[in-house]
Amino acid sequence: MSNTLITIDGPSGVGKTTIGKRLASELNFEFFSSGLLYRVIALHMEKTNSLNLNEFEIISNDPVVCKVNENVYKEKNLYTPEINTKSSEIAQLSEVRIIVSNVLQFMFKNSNIGLVVEGRDMGSVVFKNAHLKIYLDASEAVRSERRIAQSDNKESVEDLRARDSRDINRKISPLVIADDAIVINNENKSIDEVIKIIKENLKLQ
Ligand code: DC
């Protein structure tokens, strides 16, 4: 049997990374944020003006470092307002989504511990057979407040709204709730409360 896989999907700023990292650390699992790969591709396009992604490699997981055709991209350079927007734009392209999906599946196949992976289509498209699928939700106002509170990724309500709209309305792999996902609205819940709900659901699997 394969290692345990937990997917967390949901809109921007809902807390997928915060919850996912904490959960992974408590379970001794690995954590990966799939949005990072879209961010790497966005930066690569900006730098090279091309969509040539022939050699795409994750060199390190924490912090993430990727190599794309000899160009090296580091996690610390991926959270800018420009990359927020650009990553959501290039995420509409099917060739980009196929590459990201393949890279993630390869990573999971080759890891020897459990994985918590977060994104927009982790449970609905990329890892349909995940052991547990979580969909986190909260109102736009609360998500925007949380984003603004993050010192490294200030995003206005307008920018957040535009990005959500693109992620929800795109033709390929839009943000949807997978049929078998557990939906948690974390608007009035602490991180500990959300983690507890996820762990209880993991026991039931
Ligand atoms: O999670 P994030 O903010 O780092 O993601 C950046 C963008 O990447 C997001 O606006 C849409 C895209 N994305 C996606 O389309 N599918 C995913 N599974 C993860 C991210």
What does the pLDDT look like over 139-167, one tens digit per residue?
A: 998 998 888 777 565 678 888 899 999 99
Residue 1 pLDDT > 60: no
To the question of pTM greater than 0.75 for the whole model, the response is: yes
Tell the residue number behind the tokens 């997928």, with chain if given. Answer: 16
Cβ neighbours, 10 Å, residue 185: 15
Task: Return the best residue to mutate from 33, 66, 87 for the ligand 1 pocket (most ligand atoms within 8 A of CB).
Answer: 87
The CATH classification of domain 5-34+81-199, taken from the options 3.20.20.70, 3.40.50.720, 3.40.50.1820, 3.40.50.300: 3.40.50.300
Mutational pocket test of ligand 1: of 16, 80, 88, 133, the residue with most ligand atoms within 8 Å of the beta carbon: 88
Per-residue confidence (pLDDT) for residue 150, from 0 to 100: 72
> Measuring from each residue's beta carbon to the nearest atom of ligand 1, which residues come in under 6 Å?
12, 33-35, 38-39, 87-88, 91, 119-122, 163, 167
Question: What percent of the chain clears pLDDT 90, i.e. is strictly above it?
Answer: 82
Residues composing the chain:
205
What atom in ligand 1 is closest to the CA of residue 163? 10
Nearest to 85 by CA among 136, 45, 145: 45
pLDDT digits (tens, 9 = 90+) for 87-123: 999 999 999 999 999 999 999 999 899 999 999 999 9
